[in-house]
Each structure stands twice: as C-alpha cells, then as structure tokens.
Structure 1
C-alpha cells in the first residue's frame, strides 16, 4: 500500500500505521484475482477466461463511515496533515477488506470471525487515527467535530444489503422511478440456509450481473433542461486534450491525498496537465506540458480508468492500485473524449479562479449512499433518452458506451478548495440558479466514449463485464464513478472561456 511521505510520523501515528499494515496478509504481494475461486477451480489455478468468477461469501464488503465528508471546517494550516490521516483510514479499510477476502474458510468455520478478527481490530486502529485528526485540528486552534468519536465503527455488509442511501447493492435499483433490471435479483445472499450468492468480478469484488442492464429495456428518464432566461450565458468553449493515448496513469489523487503515494487505490487516466501526481504543487502545474491543443490550458482532467474483465491482464496486475487491490482486467482507452465548458441558463458566468479544484461524484457510494453520486452512463443513440447512475448499460449492436460528467457550476467566490472538497462549489437548483451567495462559473462537462463488446448475462453471471476502477470495498459499482479537475490556465484563458460563454459564442 502507499504511504504518506510528506511528514515525519510521531510514535503514535507510526504505531497506528504499523497496526493497520498488520491486517494485510503475505506482505502485500497477493494477487487479488486469486482471492476468490470458483468452487470447481483448484487453488493454484490462475484467474482467466471471460466469465466473472463465483465468489461465495456471506459477507461481501466492509462499510465504514466516510470521515472526510464530515470534516467541513478544517483550518488551512492542518489540511495537509489531516489529508494524510484520511489516507491512512482508506489504507486501513483496504487492508481490512483484503483480510476479509482471504479468510473465507475461517469465516465459514467461525460466525464471530469477521467481528472479532477484522472489524474490532479495524475499529481500534481507526480510533487512533481519529484521535490524531482531532489533535491536528486543535493544534492550530480549530475545533474538531464532536461526531468524530462515533465514526470508528465499521460494519460488514452482505451482497444484498441496502447501502446507506437505501439502494440495494446487487440490483433492484431505481432510476427515474423504474426498476432497471426487470425485477431480477442476481447475486447476493439467498437467505440464511447456507445458499450464498456472489459479488462477482474476476478479482472477486464485482461487478455482478445485476450491475448491468439492457439499455433498450429502460424507460426514458432524461429530464428537460431549464429554459434559458433573458440573462443566460449560452455559449460553449471546447478544449481538445486527447484520450490519454500516451497512457499517462497513476494511482495518486493530489486533491484528496496530497503527498500520499497510491492515495486513490485505483488507477486514473490523465489528460491536460502532464505532471500530476501526489507530490505535485501549483508551481509544478504551471511548469508542466499539456496534452491540450490550446497550450494555455494546463488544467488537469482525470478520471478512474474503465477495464474490461475478459480474462486479460494489464501492466498493473501485480501493482498497488491495480491487481493487488481488486482492479483487474484490460484498461480501455476512450475512443473519444470531449471536454466542453457551458454557461448558465439564468445568468452570466464569472471566470474560474486559478487552481480551482472540483471533484464530482462519489467514489464511495456503495457505503455512503447516493447523495453525492453524479455518474451518468448511457449508449450512443440513447443519451437524450436514458442516463443510468446505478447500473452499467449493455448497448445494442453498433452502439458505444458513453460516460458523461457535468461538474458543479456554482462557486462560493472565495475558496479554490474546501476541507471536504465539496462545500466551496455546488450545483445549480432545478431552475438553473445558484443559491446562498454562490456565483455561476462555466460548467465543465466531459463526454467519454468507449468501444466495448457488450457483456452478456447467463445463469446469473456476466461475461465480458466492464467496470470503473475503485476502492476494493466499493465492489466496482457504477454509481462510484467520479471525475476530478484542477483549473490551471495562462495567457488569460480563464477570462476568454467566460467571455466566450457569456457572448453566446461557440469557441475552441
């Protein structure tokens, strides 16, 4: 796993990290694909083929409170240190999930194994880190949320247990009021008679058959856009930055885990700025090259890769953030990537501030629920009719998978980031208005197109599944899709974008 290299650890924090690492088995050299084998496989048979493996287990994942989302008021002087501790919490969950995945026999023999050997030790280790976070905040004169003491406890979730948002994890999810999988329950525990379901995926942590839906069988659910008002900003500005054909990847996330290698625990595609990793600074961004045709656009646009789980491997099969953490299969490069800034239907827009950071969507919806979900999955020819959040589309012949993002377009006018990376920006209301003193900025929209052989579902299993990379305990659900952005421009480009949009022009 990655480690925080930004600061020298105190003995307290060092002990916490060492205790967390002790949860992992085999010194971190495990291949996740071997954690779950079908009942008919021998122990030494490597994963392969084009069908997801049966992963029988009563407990499918671990659900822990997302501490970072509770920290809305961390003093600026403590944010770097707190971010490092939050990364330690993520690493603890990853290690505990690895422990869960490698002890299925022990769990079958002892009903209390998960609680006593995984969840309780995890809780004890989380308490140490939470105490450390409180110390970091109070050390600089801040006040830590009183709720921190209640966030140490994690729970085990079964494959068919509802998420925090009330959505079933293994199907039956609602989109636009319609049940997307035709009422079929595939995967998940079959009751308490010993007949247990699976959580799928050739690494054993998803996706499952019920994570996919034939898009031709989903009723239209796309709502009409707000009508443009008299003062609307109707222009567009398109920046062409490529599809990451040069394979600029890493498993860092400089926004949420600065200074922490492998802070994302999954792989990202990067376009635009070419010097983005955990240790990059604003000065680094300004000195970097860009993949954008407009050389004044040094912004960083990055998102989790999509992989097809057809039995193939990729370069990171044995690497942190890749196969060692349940992200397996062949990485797909988009065949198209369109990045466009659009205006507000109600007002003119202000230029984006330099180094503005925005994260849209939530990488942890499997445990957080769907409050911050902003995933949009569709197929070419269906984008104006159907957009999916909680399932991946199976597209008809000749149609490609489309993944779109529409970022928050209201800014508080002061901060380029916030402690939980959310409160400084927000979405416009249903009428397109920015509320509570926020001002409209150009809305970043992204459209990624993939050429994917349509998955097929047979006997409750999915062949040639595809999925986004994610934290291993999030089970590769479609709703965990998210996108990251850092605005970095020069030569007055930010103002040019705003002016173009405000004048109703179409620029590039």
Structure 2
C-alpha cells in the first residue's frame, strides 16, 4: 500500500514538474537583459572572433540550477508516511528558493549602500539638490559675462533631479511585458550559456572617482596663446531627437551606428543629412547655431526597457541634466575660423577592439573634474553627477572639411598645446555632459555589441553649421580672452 502511494506521488510530481518546464518553454518569457547584474570579470579574448554554438532557450528568470533542486524534492517527500499534496510541496520549494535569492540580493544591496554611504562622508565639492556643481572646468558658464539674451533653460543650474530617479544598487525583478516571444539568446563567451555574460559592462569597468589621480587636464597657455571661451547653448535634447544613425561615418545608412545617439542643435540630423538639409533645418541652439552635436546615450541598466534591441543596448535612456558645448582657444597661438560644414569626430566607438590609439573618452564626477578616467565608468559620491568630457581635435589642415577616415583633416595638438606644422588652430570644442545615475555600477554607454559597453568607446560627433557672423564672434571671444 505504501509503495503504491509513493509511486502515485512520484507520478504526480513528475507531471507537475513537466508542466512547469513546458509552460516555461511554451510561454517564452522575454529575457530581461536589463535584469542581469554587472558581473565581476570581463570575458576572455574580448573583441576576438569566436566560434559560438547556439544554446537551448532558457527563461531569464529561471535559475540555471533549478532542475537539480526540483529533483531533490521527491526524496524528502518519499520519507514521509503521510499523504500530502505533491503540487503544494513543489510550489513551496520554488517559493523558498526565490525568497532565499531575494534575501541574498537585498543583503548585498544593503552592504553596497553602506559602503557607498561610508565613502560619501569623504566627498568634496558635492552639488546640492541635483544641480550640476559650478566648476570652472566642467561648467565654464560659472565665470561668463552676463548675456541678457541667454536662455535660462540652457543653464546647467536649471536641471534638477527628476522625481523618477532612484538610487539603488541591485536590479529589481523584471517588469517585462508578458506574452512576448523569446528570441534565441546569444551564447556566452565564458561558456556557461548565460544571456548576461556577453553584454557588459563589468565590475572591472567601474572605479571610485577618488582612486583616479588628480592631474592637470590642459596645456598651460603661453604668452601667444588664446585664453577666451565661447559656449553655445543648445539645451539637453528635451525634444527627444534620437536615432542610431551617423551621417558622418555611415551616410545614407539607417542604424549605421548600431547604438542610439542623443542630438542637440540641428533638428534634422539623421542618416541622410546633407549640407543643404542641415542649412534648411531649425535648431535648438541660440544665436542661429545650426550645428549638430551628437553622442551615444547612457542607459540606466536597472530599468527593464529596450530588451528586444538586436544590438543589446538595453535599459532606460538617461537624458543629460546639463550639456555644455564650450569652444576653447589654443595654448600657443590665436585661433582661426572653422569652415562651414566642417565635420569632426572624437574618440573611437570600437576602441575596445581597435586599441587606444584614437580613444578620447573622459569620465569624471562633478566636483572632481581634475580626476578624469579614460577607460573606467566613475562611481561618484552622493550628490555628485557623472560627467562625460569629450575634447575634439582642433588643428585644421586649412583646406578640407572632411577626410576619408574623418580624422586626418583635423588633428589634435601636441602635449604642449601646439598644432603640428602645416595645420592651423581652430576653436576646440569640449562637450561636457552631466548625468544623475543610480548608485553603484548600474549604468552603461550604448555601444556596438562586440564592444561590451566598454567605457573606453565613448565618442562624439560635430558638424559646424554656424553662420559666418557667429563663427567670427566665437573667434573674437577666444582671441581676446573673453568668456562669451
């Protein structure tokens, strides 16, 4: 009698377990890549071409070791003489396991929060109320002359912290829509078949800003140098002008960038932009500046959005709190005007695989702008914002508005700030972008999929469409040592 009861119980549990597995496969829950915790180590051989085998589909919220724990349930149940509902036992085991996992995550989040709070006590020059710190490097508007026509919305101080931002350490359970089909997950370079391992970034891609050595960022300006600055006020892309195009590098190609760009300035910029279309468009900038300024977006990886993106740029797009577009002088000489429709790029979107030769990323925190990391995301103290500082080349060949590699017609000055022989200094564009991000390693830059969201791949693009009169004003401000 007892053996028959046990046989019946085993059969019932097998049916239940089979039903759970079938439901998971048939239901096809969408893998929530945004729920993947940032892992400890970067996969080996990043950037090298690897042969990959397609693993079987596996729901993202089902732990990989779950089948083994379900197999242990009949042994405990078979040792009891009482008849119990096997379905309830299996469900209870599942609930206990999920609860243990949540407790482990909560404890980890609390510990990280305590560590961050401990670091905050040593913070310096932190901003208050979410406004960007008024720093002369990150925010040159702090020392500018008053301009009665200035748009108050373009000021760095007017962008407060949004109510929706939350400072958290660990991803929360997925809030993905139900009923969507599950795509085949990409294999993991680490070989364990996880959807999370080959997305990036990794814990090694982050650093506490206080661990970055302080250094002088700019060459000392000599007697013949040009000390002035001009800031073009263009807003923070409140219009929602985004696309994954890059008409400089991949003209006429939709999704040529394979990652989303933020745009300010020219409102028409897309894959098919031409000099004529840019000239005819409206702009978000003051004083008739129709130039286009764009860069890859930063995403909050704690929010489960954009999970079906084929290039694996997942998470919620974070709009910059401040965008400062500053044109600067040259350390050794006066500057000359940029030609109209000059195209400039800075950084290398594929630096993680190409190497650092063209990399120009600069990551910092407000209040710590003498500490800039070229290859790590910064972990900032509470109240401090993440900064991206992107300097553009400024030594023009005097003839061309573009070149085959989009680099040789305008190059960077040497370490002393002087332009190479045969080139002329033009106003140097410095983009400073400020973000409020969740606490901890929780954000990432959009990137080509094989770059694994490496911070070294940060880059920016610019096309000069200023009226000639405005460019003349820029040059005069810089050469006369004014702040405009």
The question of a shared fold, defined as TM-score above 0.5 by the shorter chain, is answered with yes
Q: Does 1:406 align with 2:391?
A: yes
Q: Which residue does 1:357 correspond to in 2?
A: 343
Q: CA deviation at 1:485?
A: 0.3
Q: Which residue does 1:485 correspond to in 2?
A: 462
Q: Does the 8 Å contact 2:46/2:353 carry over to 1? A: no
Structure 1 residues 56 and 396: alpha-carbon distance in aligned structure 2, compared to 1, 3 A threshold: closer
Q: Which residue does 1:71 correspond to in 2?
A: none
Q: Does 1:428 align with 2:420?
A: no
- For residues 114-141 of structure 1, give each alpha carbon's deviation from its aligned partner in whole angstroms, at most 9, with x where no partner exists: xxxxxxxxxxxxxxxxxxxxxxxxxxxx
In 2, distance between residues paired with 1:195 and 1:372? 26
Structure 1 residues 195 and 332: alpha-carbon distance in aligned structure 2, compared to 1, 3 A threshold: closer
In 2, distance between residues paired with 1:302 and 1:414? 24
Unaligned runs of 5+ in 2: 1-23, 58-187
Q: Does the 8 Å contact 1:339/1:446 carry over to 2? A: yes
Q: Which residue does 2:479 correspond to in 1?
A: 502
Q: CA deviation at 1:436?
A: 2.4
Give the paired residue count. 329
Once structures 1 and 2 are overlaid, which stretch shifts more, 477-486 or 423-432? Answer: 423-432
Describe the SS at the equivalent of 1:416. coil
Q: CA deviation at 1:467?
A: 1.1
- Map 1:276-425 → 2, pairs under 5 A: 276-294=269-287, 296-314=288-306, 317-318=307-308, 323-384=309-370, 386-425=371-410
Describe the SS at the equivalent of 2:299. strand
In 2, distance between residues paired with 1:403 and 1:224? 14
Structure 1 residues 204 and 351: alpha-carbon distance in aligned structure 2, compared to 1, 3 A threshold: same
Q: Which residue does 1:218 correspond to in 2?
A: 212
In 2, distance between residues paired with 1:195 and 1:360? 30
Q: Does the 8 Å contact 1:201/1:208 carry over to 2? A: no
Q: Does the 8 Å contact 1:434/1:440 carry over to 2? A: yes
- For residues 290-324 of structure 1, give each alpha carbon's deviation from its aligned partner in whole angstroms, at most 9, with x where no partner exists: 00022x2000000000001114214xx44xxxx11
- For residues 240-298 of structure 1, give each alpha carbon's deviation from its aligned partner in whole angstroms, at most 9, with x where no partner exists: 0011111100111000111111111110000000101111110000000000022x200
In 1, distance between residues paired with 2:349 and 2:211? 27
Which among 433, 443, 447 is matched to residue 432 of structure 2? Answer: 447
Describe the SS at the equivalent of 1:238. strand
Q: Which residue does 2:184 correspond to in 1?
A: none
- For residues 382-425 of structure 1, give each alpha carbon's deviation from its aligned partner in whole angstroms, at most 9, with x where no partner exists: 111x1011110111111110111111111111111000011111
Which among 231, 253, 257 is matched to residue 260 of structure 1? Answer: 253
Q: CA deviation at 1:208?
A: 1.0
In 2, distance between residues paired with 1:365 and 1:58? 16
- Map 1:165-176 → 2, pairs under 5 A: none
Which of structure 1's runs of 4+ aligned residues deviate more than 6 A? 53-60, 197-201
Q: Does the 8 Å contact 2:352/2:457 carry over to 1? A: yes
Unaligned runs of 5+ in 1: 1-41, 65-96, 107-193, 457-464
Which among 215, 229, 234 is matched to residue 241 of structure 1? Answer: 234
Q: Does the 8 Å contact 2:365/2:384 carry over to 1? A: yes
- For residues 132-187 of structure 1, give each alpha carbon's deviation from its aligned partner in whole angstroms, at most 9, with x where no partner exists: xxxxxxxxxxxxxxxxxxxxxxxxxxxxxxxxxxxxxxxxxxxxxxxxxxxxxxxx
Q: CA deviation at 1:46?
A: 3.1
Q: Does the 8 Å contact 1:267/1:469 carry over to 2? A: yes
Q: Does 1:46 align with 2:30?
A: yes
Q: Does the 8 Å contact 1:336/1:448 carry over to 2? A: yes
Q: Does the 8 Å contact 1:378/1:388 carry over to 2? A: yes
Structure 1 residues 279 and 270: alpha-carbon distance in aligned structure 2, compared to 1, 3 A threshold: same
Q: Which has the larger radius of gyration?
A: 2
In 1, distance between residues paired with 2:294 and 2:29? 35
Which among 192, 205, 208 is matched to residue 202 of structure 2? Answer: 208
Q: CA deviation at 1:57?
A: 11
Describe the SS at the equivalent of 1:444. strand
Q: Which residue does 1:167 correspond to in 2?
A: none
Describe the SS at the equivalent of 1:324. coil
Q: CA deviation at 1:234?
A: 0.9
Q: Does the 8 Å contact 2:392/2:429 carry over to 1? A: yes
In 2, distance between residues paired with 1:263 and 1:237? 32
